[in-house]
Structure 1
Amino acid sequence: MTAIDRSAVEQALARYQDPYLKTDLLSAGCLQSLDIDGGRVSAQLTLGYAAGNIVRGIEQMLTVAVEDVAGVDSATVRVDWTVRAAPTQGGVPGLANVKNIIAVASGKGGVGKSTTSVNLALALAGEGARVGVLDADIYGPSMGLMLGVPEGTRPEVRDEKWFVPPRAHGVQVMTMAFLAGDKTPMAWRGPMVSGALMQLLTQTAWDDLDYLVVDMPPGTGDIQLTLAQKAPVTGSVIVTTPQDIALLDARKGIEMFRKVNIPVVGVVENMAVHVCSNCGHAEHLFGEGGGVRLSEEYGVELLGSMPLSMMIREQADGGRPTVIAEPESQISLLYQDMARHVAARLASGAGQSGVPNISISDD
């Protein structure tokens, strides 16, 4: 019987290039154990990001690769995943029971940021992660509506201090609308809004979250700076449309996060193309290639290019976003792919080099 070469088994495992980590699993440090007993090989690998929908497929590919190695009679390859807390900007203490905070932002309104936030959160949950959503748009909260939370819902209060977040479609959600009502206008100045945001963030009893997705208001004002300075944000996602004016404002959003040393995980381009439901004609109503140009300009990943679809809007308005309403649709699969890219970028450090101190200037 031919003795099994351990290095040959490792090379076989390394032939699989993870499309999200963008390297092989050995270089990524995912191999936990490798045992060889005669002609039997067993290996255990652990991905560092939520990947519940793809680990069985990876197992099958790796098993076939190992069984092709000379001398191997049988192989058992197990792949699982875990989520660890990624580094945050310097000087900001971690948030209890929350491993990673993802800020979803845009330079201007109307680009589909909230729709991206809610579908990203649901897609992460669909991979098996524990996920929460914080609606940081104090003036115009929409997460309750998008997640189908009944009007008039109020969070339970624990120990006269903590808000217990309601749950919808498997995610925990907190929004100002739960405290003030959907129709109550928040006629507040900046300091009051910033204080309300921090109260929602720190006085909510989040239940052991792998990811907290924060739906930011548009712009680069008080709420954005408050979150950047006082919350342990792991990474940010910038949402834009191909339109030139949207791209201009998206650049401001990227620059803001860079100034406060929060890595930009990637860019999501919404309303990239419209396909006529009658004739099937595809038309780029808001321009073409803007997301690609923006991602190349700043050296960040284009996480997804989403169509202008009535279905996405109707399902979000109806409280059942696309990832829940039609989980096997092409659009839902795009959101799932986006979620794995975001999670993997956080796991790999999202381009961070150390944990620098916050430095904000007026220029």
Structure 2
Amino acid sequence: MIVAVSGGKGGVGKSTVSLNLARELDAVVVDADLATADLPRGSGADLHDVLAGRADPLEAVDSFGSIRILPCGRTLAGARASNVSELERVVDRLERECSRVVIDCPAGLARDVGTQLKCAHVAVLVTTPTEAALVDALRTREIALELDTPIASIVCNRAAADDSEQLTARVERELGAPTAVIEECSAVDDAMARWQPVRDAHPDCDAVDAFEAVAHSIERCEKRLSGRIGVL
């Protein structure tokens, strides 16, 4: 199963969701933001090297605590040398060897987002409660559906503590997928500052339940896509 974590607007928490879903799904997370990578740097080869044909995908995967990451380089030259059309081959190889892959997509509606969404079996859209973020998430949803990539779940991040139920209903209505709301929480920020999943850093945080719910939505899609239960 290959999962693309996208959403359109930058700064909504796609990398946070990607890191935590990698933990919940026991997946390799690929930092596919070629120009402005946000997940930890590795100690060796990175996605720029892989997409330029200089490194093997499996050899570039690095471990950060409980998480396996294919990191991305930080240089403009590396981004320019990357052959984005090779990304599908790379994530397919990782899926064959590691079973599950989470793609951390770039911020905004960059030209290569379509490539990353097309590589995935399902997408998770990340938004915040702001109108601008919801509009961008809706645009990303349209791109994903045009590419026949179903939406497994929505994550509404940085929500107010007293707005959860109403927000869930609204987002599910507008974006048409199961929605998990993650409230504004210092524990989530602290975990990301340490490059740790919330489950590892603050296991009692309510966000753990939200990430677990998203993972369950993905797993249900995985079963449907494999033909074990019904038709997606």
Provide TM-score, normalisation by structure 1. 0.54
Are the structure 2 counterparts of residues 106 and 291 from structure 1 closer, same or farther at C-alpha, using a change threshold of 3 Å? farther
Q: Does 1:214 align with 2:133?
A: no
* Higher alpha-carbon Rg: 1
Q: Does 1:297 align with 2:174?
A: yes
Q: Does 1:118 align with 2:19?
A: yes
Contact 2:2 2:91 in 1 (8 A): no
Alignment of 1:326-337 (within 5 A): 326-337=202-213
Partner of 2:217: 341
Contact 1:104 1:236 in 2 (8 A): yes
Aligned length: 223
Q: How far does residue 170 in structure 1 lie from its aligned partner after superposition? A: 3.4
Residue 169 of structure 2 aligns to a residue in which SS? helix
Q: How far does residue 339 in structure 1 lie from its aligned partner after superposition? A: 1.3
| The one of 155, 172, 194 aligned to 2:84 | 194
Q: Does 1:319 align with 2:206?
A: no
Residue 12 of structure 2 aligns to a residue in which SS? coil
Q: Which runs of 5+ in 1 are unaligned?
A: 1-99, 126-130, 275-281, 355-363
Partner of 1:270: 157
Residue 203 of structure 2 aligns to a residue in which SS? coil
- Which structure has more relative contact order (CA 8 Å, sep 6+)? It is 2
Contact 2:2 2:95 in 1 (8 A): no
Partner of 1:357: none
Q: Distance in 2 between matches of 1:294 and 1:328?
A: 26
Q: How far does residue 341 in structure 1 lie from its aligned partner after superposition? A: 2.2
Partner of 2:147: 260
Contact 2:30 2:103 in 1 (8 A): yes
1:149-178 superposed Cα distances (whole Å, 9 cap, x missing partner): 5xxx10499xx752411122333211223x
| The one of 128, 135, 155 aligned to 2:31 | 135
Partner of 1:235: 122
Contact 1:244 1:290 in 2 (8 A): no
| The one of 138, 144, 163 aligned to 1:251 | 138
Q: Distance in 1 between matches of 2:55 and 2:132?
A: 43
What letter matches 1:324 in structure 2?
D
Q: Does 1:169 align with 2:65?
A: yes
Partner of 2:113: 224
Taking only aligned residues, the RMSD between alpha carbons, in angstroms, comes to 3.3
Residue 306 of structure 1 aligns to a residue in which SS? strand
Q: How far does residue 205 in structure 1 lie from its aligned partner after superposition? A: 5.8
Q: How far does residue 108 in structure 1 lie from its aligned partner after superposition? A: 0.4
Q: Distance in 1 between matches of 2:165 and 2:140?
A: 20
Partner of 1:108: 9
Q: Which runs of 5+ in 2 are unaligned?
A: none
Could you say which structure has the higher strand fraction? Answer: 1
Could you say which structure has the higher helix fraction? Answer: 2
Are the structure 2 counterparts of residues 133 and 352 from structure 1 closer, same or farther at C-alpha, using a change threshold of 3 Å? farther
Contact 1:135 1:214 in 2 (8 A): yes
